Each structure stands twice: as structure tokens, then as C-alpha cells.
Structure 1
Amino acid sequence: MSQVKIKVGPRTYSIACGPGDEEKVEAFGKLIDENYAKLGTARAPQEADNLVFAALFMADELDEAKEKAANAKGELAELRIELQRARDDAANALKKAASDNENDKERSGSAKAEMRAQIATLRKAEERARKENLALKARVAEFEEREKHQHDLFGGPAEDAAHSAALAEKLEALAARAEATANALEGQSTTH
């Protein structure tokens, strides 16, 4: 066991902790001291009362962090639904292209060559979508990992909103590309 000295208000406390936890205990001590300082001149005569008030400040911050984590969890669920829709749209566009290709096999050689070019384009788009999907999965995993550690007051729930917004933008762009590709294919199939 290691011993760490932390200062809270006018007193210094010696805290026992496991090896490797010294920095964490020191950081917690600073956090408690900061909340203790919020009492200002309104300190109670009993030091234990002051520590309770400091703990109440921290409990309030923890409650806010939990609420932000719950909101982030809801946003994450919505992003997963959007991601699944984008996957479905891409899969449907690819199936439609393959089906159109089969129908066009009976037509002229130039139509076949054109459809092959469209399929190649779709495959490239699908590959890009897969890469983006992998990147999005990594971001989702990052959100899930952050969600596991929301009890840590040093985390950044505010960062989660920015990451969620960026993820949502990427999903919207992916869905727009899939829809544009599907529309282009529909336009091509009606002209042949």
C-alpha cells in the first residue's frame, strides 16, 4: 500500500491507496479541495460538515455527468439506427444494380458494358462505405468505452456531443451518396 497526502481546506490527510493509484488519489484530493473552496466564508464550525458540503457539490457534478451520459447513450442508439439504414440502403442499391445487370444481359453489348461500369462504380462506393462503416464502428466503440467510464469526473461528456455530431454528419453523407447512386441507377435503367 502507498500513502498519499492530500490537502482539503485547512487540513492535510494521509490516504492509503494501491500501487499506481497515487496520481488518481491526488487528483481526487484536488477535486475535493476545489469543491471545499466553493464554501468560501460560509464554512460550518465543524470540519465534517464542510466535507459533507464539498461532497454534495461533487454529487451534483456527478449527477450532471450521469445525465449527459444518458443523453449520449440515447444519441448513440439513434446513430446506430441511422447506420443500419445507411447499410440497408447501400445493400438495396447494390441488389438493384445486380438485378438491373441481369435484365440488361439480354440487351445490346453496349448496354452490358455500361452496366458493368456502373457496377464497378457501385463496388467502389460500397468499398468506401465499408471503410467509413469501419471508421464509424470504431467511433461507436469509442463512445461505448467512454460510456463505461462516465463515473470518472475527469472525462469529457461535452466531447461526446461533438463526436456524435461528426458521426451524424458522416452518416448523413453516406446515406445521401447511397441515395444518389440509387437514383443514378434508376435513371440509367429507364433509358435502356
Structure 2
Amino acid sequence: MAEIMLQIAGRPYPIRCRDGEEAHITHLASMIDQKARQAQQATPGLTEVRALLFAGLFLADELNDLKREAAGRQTRLPLDGDDEPSARAIEALAGRIEKLRDRLAASAPDA
């Protein structure tokens, strides 16, 4: 186990993590620190707990927006058959796969 010291909202936090995860955990902590500092600047006098609460809410809001955006992209994919170029490309790939299957079947030793 590795031990690292994180700085969030001006306070040190000693954290243990798996070996090799130090850089990742430090990066995540810097994201939390950035949001906590934004909360402290927007509302001077916030307690440490409330600054961290707002940091968590800011990050959760960003995550929610990204999930919603990703879901919207999935529903807009043009794979309903109306997209002629995509349909042709898929048919061509299917044909290539069938040819490869036939070649592999022909070269395989009989079992």
C-alpha cells in the first residue's frame, strides 16, 4: 500500500491507496480541490465541510450532464436502415467476414 498526502481546500489529507494508483488519486483530488476552491471563492466563509459538499455537488452535476449527453448521442446514431452508406459498409463487412470464415473452414484440418 502506498501513502500519499492530498491537499484539498487548503487542508492536508493522508490517504492510502494501492501501489501504482498514486498519480490517479492525486489527479482526482486536484479535481475536488478545484471545485472546493470555487465554492469557497463564490461564498466566502464556507466551512470546510460545506465547501467539500459543494465540490461534490458540482462534480455530480458535471457527471450527470455528461451521462445525459452520452445517452443523447446513442439515440441519434443513424443505424435504422435509412443511412444508405452505413448499410452498404455493414453489408461489405459481412461479406468479408463470410469469405474469411469460408477460407478458415477450408484450411482447417478435419476433426
Query: Does 1:80 find its partner at 2:50?
Result: no
Letter of the 1:80 counterpart: L
Query: Does 1:5 find its partner at 2:5?
Result: yes
Tell which has more relative contact order, 1 or 2 (C-alpha 8 A, sep 6+): 1
Letter of the 2:27 counterpart: A
Per-residue deviation, 1:62: 0.7
Partner of 2:32: 32
The runs of 4+ residues in structure 1 deviating greater than 3 Å are 82-90
2 CA distance for matches of 1:43 and 1:17? Answer: 32
Per-residue deviation, 1:84: 7.6
Gaps of 5+ in 1: 91-125, 135-192
The RMSD of aligned alpha carbons is 3.1
Partner of 1:115: none
Structure number with the higher helix fraction is 1
Q: With structure 1 as the length reference, what TM-score do the two structures score?
A: 0.41
Q: With structure 2 as the length reference, what TM-score do the two structures score?
A: 0.67
Query: Does 1:61 find its partner at 2:62?
Result: yes
Structure number with the higher strand fraction is 2
2 CA distance for matches of 1:86 and 1:41? Answer: 51
Q: How do residues 1-192 of structure 1 correspond to structure 2 at under 5 angstroms? A: 1-39=1-39, 40=41, 42-75=43-76, 78-82=77-81, 86=85, 129-130=92-93
Gaps of 5+ in 2: 98-111
1 CA distance for matches of 2:3 and 2:52? Answer: 21
Check whether the contact 1:43–1:50 (CA below 8 A) recurs between aligned residues: no
1 CA distance for matches of 2:23 and 2:9? Answer: 19
SS in 1 for 2:79: helix
Check whether the contact 1:2–1:16 (CA below 8 A) recurs between aligned residues: yes
- Between the two proteins, the alignment pairs up a number of residues equal to 94
Cα shift readout 1:128-178 (whole Å, capped 9, x = no counterpart): x54xx99xxxxxxxxxxxxxxxxxxxxxxxxxxxxxxxxxxxxxxxxxxxx
